[in-house]
């Protein structure tokens, strides 16, 4: 499998280099193929990450792959080897995804309280999802009052009704719905 991937990645890279001379904007794909080539040659994602020229792209690709495959050991190693640092916003987002995938509600609540503003600074579009997941995790932990308070705050500040509806339904408080 590794040999097949290696040959395929090398062939794609050669064809792309020929097309690059004719078409602008293909650099992104070249970087992706170079990462695939490295991965096929080494078959060790941590070593590939350490050798990759574009560490942010490689970190994102590998961490997503490890999340999808539930490869928690390699994901932990990758997070520890992050060039920006294990407390970077990218690592924190991956740790949030990991806690959600593992249904580790206590870890998720710990990661999201107090609200990690710097983690979402460049990714505001994720905030709604994580506010909702925080409420869900609090409900799963039977921390009803905190969940309700947070859901009410979200509704007042961001006009997000779904977390509030979830808390009412979870408490079977039909009069409030």
* Helix ranges restricted to H, 21-143: 27-42, 45-51, 55-69, 72-80, 89-101, 105-112, 127-140
State the pLDDT confidence band at 153, using cuts at 50, 70 and 90. Answer: very high
**How many percent of the chain have pLDDT more than 70?**
73
What is the predicted pLDDT for the residue at 6? 47
Average pLDDT for 103-128: 90
Global pTM? 0.71
Q: For position 122, what pLDDT does the model report?
A: 81
In angstroms, the CA 155 to CA 171 distance is 17
8 Å CB contact between 144 and 170: yes
16-63: pLDDT as tens digits: 555 555 545 445 445 565 555 555 455 677 777 777 777 787 788 888
pLDDT of the residue at 38:
55
Residues 162, 148: Cα–Cα separation, whole Å: 12
2, pLDDT greater than 50: no
Q: What is the pLDDT of residue 177?
A: 42
At residue 4 the predicted structure's pLDDT band, cuts being 50, 70 and 90, is very low
Q: What pLDDT was estimated at residue 86?
A: 81
- Identify whether the C-beta of residue 163 lies closer than 8 Å to the C-beta of residue 138: no
CA distances from 159 to 8, 76, 144, 151, 163 (A): 49, 36, 20, 10, 10
Residues 87-109 pLDDT 10s: 888 899 999 999 999 999 999 99
| 41 in Cβ contact with 65 (< 8 Å) | no
- Angle subtended by helix axes 55-69 and 72-80, to nearest 10: 160
**Please, are residues 154 and 164 in contact by the beta-carbon 8 Å criterion?**
yes
Mean pLDDT of the chain: 79
How many residues are given for the chain? 177
The separation between CA 57 and the C-alpha centre of its own chain, rounded to angstroms, equals: 12
């Amino acid at each position: 499998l590794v040999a097949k991937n290696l040959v395929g990645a090398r062939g794609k890279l050669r064809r792309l280099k020929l097309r690059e001379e004719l078409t602008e904007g293909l650099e992104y794909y070249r970087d992706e193929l170079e990462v695939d080539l490295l991965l096929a040659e080494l078959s060790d994602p941590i070593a590939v990450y350490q050798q990759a020229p574009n560490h942010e792209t490689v970190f994102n690709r590998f961490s997503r792959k490890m999340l999808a495959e539930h490869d928690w050991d390699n994901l932990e190693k990758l997070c520890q080897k992050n060039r920006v640092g294990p407390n970077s916003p990218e690592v924190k987002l991956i740790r949030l995804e990991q806690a959600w995938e593992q249904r580790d509600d206590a870890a998720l609540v710990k990661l999201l309280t107090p609200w990690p503003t710097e983690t979402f600074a460049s990714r505001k579009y994720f905030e709604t999802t994580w506010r909702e997941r925080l409420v869900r995790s609090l409900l799963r932990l039977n921390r009803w009052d905190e969940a309700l308070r947070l859901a009410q705050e979200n509704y007042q500040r961001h006009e997000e009704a779904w977390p509030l509806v979830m808390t009412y339904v979870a408490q079977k408080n039909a009069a409030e719905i």
